[in-house]
């Protein structure tokens, strides 16, 4: 049964070649093993580890990919300085029942004459899609490529990147990709800051201010429960973020699946927030329960 066999901790097997990775997964699946896959860009933190532990609890074998994907960064973004620490990441995964670490080169994923890109719309259209044009196309392309190299039964993504989870689920549905998607809860620091590899960029002062994102989401939750309209909630979230020195990209309360304005209260809502502190861009979100009486 998945998750009950082979529980002994092991050191993961590091693989760079996509074809070799694929054949190892297919051999394991042919032997009846359920495979869980955790795609990452490395710089692993407790949020990633929680995905790995969930995969290990639900699957027989776990594969983790570590690949800083160039196609999801715009030229002015942080691709060059994104933390790369493969050895430390491998150490962080020791004793966690990870069977494979897939760490391909950029050329392994994108050969020199690579000419294909997945276009995405729907949940990719607003928010990160507007502020980071091409970002979700890059995410969808690499995730599809990774799903081919790691043909697992189920892939695990963190709810912290809520819009990304919607884009990936829509791609899987639209293209009929044979993989399940499981979305796992956001892991937070004790003061509420959502775990992110980019938190390491924050200066001590900005790290102190960064709790403003989670605070604005807690405010949204309270106002939502009190029956306030999305526009009023968004205004107060923005005011709070600005008062803490956050340069706000957006603070929104929208339909939790389409990310479009709320048409009625029968659909689940989500509060989304993004902003910059110093040179660091942070995002966060919170699910809001369905309620009656507000359109
Ligand atoms: O969430 C991430 O770390 C990345 O966007 C992903 C899904 C690994 C694709 O590069």
> What pLDDT is stored for residue 264 in this prediction?
72
Q: What is the mean pLDDT of residues 172-191?
A: 98
Going from the Cα of 139 to the center of ligand 1, the distance in angstroms, rounded, reads 7
How sure is the predictor about 214, in pLDDT bands with cuts at 50, 70 and 90? very high
Instruction: Flag whether pLDDT at 295 surpasses 80.
Output: no
- Whether the pLDDT of residue 204 is over 50: the answer is yes
C-beta of residue 166 within 8 angstroms of C-beta of residue 194: no
Task: State yes or no: pLDDT of 2 exceeds 70.
Answer: no
273: which strand partners? 251, 284
Contacts of 84 (CB under 8 A, 6+ apart): 42, 43, 68
**Can you list the positions of beta strands (E) in 67-141?**
100-102
The atom of ligand 1 lying closest to the CA of 139 is 9
Mean pLDDT, the chain, rounded, equals 95
251 pLDDT higher than 60: yes
* Nearest Cα residue to 261 out of 283, 289, 229: 229
Provide the pLDDT for residue 103: 98
The reported pLDDT for the residue numbered 1 is: 41
**Percent with pLDDT over 90 in the chain:** 92
SS3 62: strand
Residue that wins the pLDDT comparison between 95 and 135: 135
The arithmetic mean of pLDDT across residues 266-288, rounded, is 94
Mean pLDDT of 47-57: 98
Told to judge if 13 belongs to the known catalytic residues of this protein, a careful annotator would answer no
User: What is the maximal distance between C-alpha atoms in the chain?
Assistant: 57
Distance separating alpha carbons of residues 278 and 289, to the nearest angstrom: 33
Query: Is the model more confident about 1 or about 54?
Result: 54
- Order of strands, sheet of 61-66, starting from the edge strand that comes earlier in the sequence: 13-15, 100-102, 61-66, 35-40, 154-158, 180-184
Measured in Å, residue 233 CA sits from the centre of ligand 1 at 30
Tell which one of 65, 69, 135, 136 to mutate to probe ligand 1, the residue whose CB is within 8 A of the most ligand atoms: 69
9 strand-pairing partners: none
**What is the pLDDT, as a whole number, of residue 291?**
80
Mean pLDDT of 209-225: 98
The alpha carbon of 136 is separated from its chain's Cα centroid by a whole number of angstroms, namely 11
Query: 147: CA distance to ligand 1 center in Å?
Result: 12
d(Cα 168, Cα 157) in Å, to the nearest integer? 9
Contact between residue 273 and residue 183 where contact means Cβ atoms under 8 Å apart: no
Q: Which residues contact 142 (CB under 8 A, 6 or more apart)?
A: 67, 69, 71, 72, 109
Other CB atoms within 10 A of residue 294 CB: 14
Please compute the mean of the pLDDT values over residues 59-79 and round it to a whole number. 97
Q: Is the pLDDT of residue 4 over 80?
A: no
Structural contact between residues 249 and 237, judged by C-beta atoms closer than 8 angstroms: no
Q: For residues 74 and 78, give the distance between their C-alpha atoms in angstroms, rounded to a whole number.
A: 8
Q: What domains can you pick out in the chain, each with its CATH number?
A: 13-184 (3.40.50.620), 197-286 (3.30.1300.10)
pLDDT band at 263 (very low <50, low <70, confident <90, very high): confident
Catalytic residue among 48, 76, 135, 240: 48
pLDDT one-digit tens code per residue, 96-146: 999 999 999 999 999 999 999 999 999 999 999 999 999 999 999 999 999
Q: Is the pLDDT of residue 265 over 80?
A: no
């Amino acid at each position: 049964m998945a998750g009950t066999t082979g529980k002994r901790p092991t050191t993961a097997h590091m693989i760079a070649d996509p074809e070799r990775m694929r054949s190892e997964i297919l051999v394991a699946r042919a032997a009846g093993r359920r495979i869980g896959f955790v795609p990452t860009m490395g710089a692993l933190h407790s949020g990633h580890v929680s995905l790995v532990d969930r995969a290990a609890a639900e699957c027989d074998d776990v594969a983790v990919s570590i690949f800083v994907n160039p196609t999801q960064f715009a030229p002015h973004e942080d691709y060059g300085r994104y933390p790369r620490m493969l050895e430390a990441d491998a150490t962080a995964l020791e004793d966690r029942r990870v069977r494979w670490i897939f760490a391909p080169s950029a050329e392994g994923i994108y050969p020199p004459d690579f000419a294909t890109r997945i276009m995405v719309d729907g949940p990719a259209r607003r928010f990160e899609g507007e502020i980071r044009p091409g970002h979700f196309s890059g995410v969808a392309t690499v995730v599809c490529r990774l799903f081919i190299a790691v043909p697992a039964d189920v892939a695990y993504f963190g709810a912290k990147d809520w819009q990304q989870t919607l884009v990936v689920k829509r791609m899987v549905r639209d293209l009929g990709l044979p993989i399940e998607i499981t979305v796992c809860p956001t892991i937070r620091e004790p003061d509420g800051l959502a775990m992110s590899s980019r938190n390491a960029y924050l200066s001590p002062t900005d790290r102190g201010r960064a709790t403003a994102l989670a605070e604005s989401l807690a405010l949204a939750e309270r106002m939502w429960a009190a029956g306030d309209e999305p526009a009023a909630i968004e205004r107060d979230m923005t005011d709070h973020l600005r008062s803490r020195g956050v340069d706000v990209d957006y603070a929104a309360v929208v339909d939790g699946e389409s990310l479009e304005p709320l048409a009625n209260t029968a659909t689940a809502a989500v509060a989304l927030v993004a902003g910059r502190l110093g040179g660091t861009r942070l995002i966060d979100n919170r699910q809001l329960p369905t309620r009656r009486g507000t359109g």
